[in-house]
Amino acid sequence: MKRRPTALLVAGLVAALALGVGLGATAYSTVADGTTTVVREVSTSARVPTATTEGLTIGEIYEQTHKGVVEITAGGSAARAQGSGFVYDDAGHVVTNQHVVEGASSLSVLFWDGSRHSARLVGTDPSTDLAVIEVEAPQALLEPLRLGDSGDVSVGDLVVAMGSPFGLEGTVTSGIVSALHRQMTAPNNFTITDSIQTDAAINHGNSGGPLLDGQGRVIGVNAQIESESGGNDGVGFAIPSDTVRSIVTQLIESGEVEHAYLGIEMVPVEGGAAVTVVRPGTPAAEAGLRAATGRSTVDGQQVPTGGDVIVAFDGDDVTSSAALQSAVDAKQPGDEVSITVLRGGKRTTVQVTLGTRPS
């Protein structure tokens, strides 16, 4: 089936992405301007979360949150980029996408009242496409938004997207959560897991803006769209708030984030994740994990053969490549874990000391 083109939502900036080196089965699409992003559909056995039982009207959500949503302008030698963001705390920290501020030599933030204030970069994490900047603004303008729990979001929940599509600040659109547990490709080609899919209309310039639930809480950061035209005739994708909470905390504390790293590529197969590539010099290579050496056709599908199929990670069953990615993400560099593989029809367990994901 032909994939629809997907695009990052930053306005005025084109980011060229190369072939991904992250984990998981991949479907690639390219927009006419050459921008390539990836969104993957992931099957999951995760629990069905509890839906919101009471909510505000869209107007009430707007009134409660719009003063905390900002427009960000990033100046640079090559281009001028414009995106969205939201106030995270009363210290002036603002959350946005990494691809909005990448390469910026100057940053400014436009507030709801029309005032513009300069900002500095605190830190970025290309692996999750998140960034934190700090704005020099009067305390009275800083109205932080609340973070919700993306683990409690259900398909069909009302959502509201806010931001500055095409530079039109204060724009509000609404829709529903149309799918959960999607995978996006980050600017550095690693995988962003558990992304939220929505049919709320988002466009270029919405990058970094909040996706809000029926209580006005941030459940995601809008990052990518997938459509035939590159506009809002398709669906949008947001980085989940549980990821935002973890990454932003680290960026504020130290200005950087370290992710655990195994060093493989893989595809989902029945009962686990088949290793297709083991990168030289990585923890996976040092532990002796083996990549597939061939392929066979099973029920019309190409299946890797001759290599390891990972069936358990640190004692927990691996049901998909996405599950393994999430399990690795939950660890820290230097953690020692056990990995159980099917190798030649037999179960074998190896010990692996996880490394630090390259930037």
What are the residue numbers of the active site?
99, 129, 207
Decide if 205 contacts 217 (C-beta within 8 A).
no
Nearest to 330 by CA among 345, 316, 310: 316
* Residue 193, both tokens: 């897991």
CA–CA dist 22, 319 (Å, integer): 18
According to DSSP, the residues that pair with 278 across neighbouring strands are 264
Q: Tell me which amino acid residue 99 is.
A: H
Cβ count within 10 A of residue 79: 13
* Residue 277, both tokens: 């590539």
- Looking up tokens 């306005």 gives 11
CA–CA dist 61, 138 (Å, integer): 24
Nearest to 223 by CA among 257, 194, 253, 186: 186
Nearest to 248 by CA among 283, 211, 221, 213: 221
* DSSP summary character for residue 75: E
Q: How far is CA 131 from the centre of its chain?
A: 12
DSSP labels, 290-302 = ----EEEEETTEE
H, E, C per residue of 118-186:
EEEEEEEECCCCEEEEEECCCHHHCCCCCECCHHHCCCCCEEEEEECHHHCCCEEEEEEEEEEEEEEEC
Q: How far is CA 229 from the centre of its chain?
A: 22
* DSSP summary character for residue 147: B
H or E segment to which residue 29 belongs: strand 28-30
H, E, C per residue of 236-287:
EEEEEHHHHHHHHHHHHHHCCCCCEECCEEEEEECCEEEEEEECCCCHHHHH
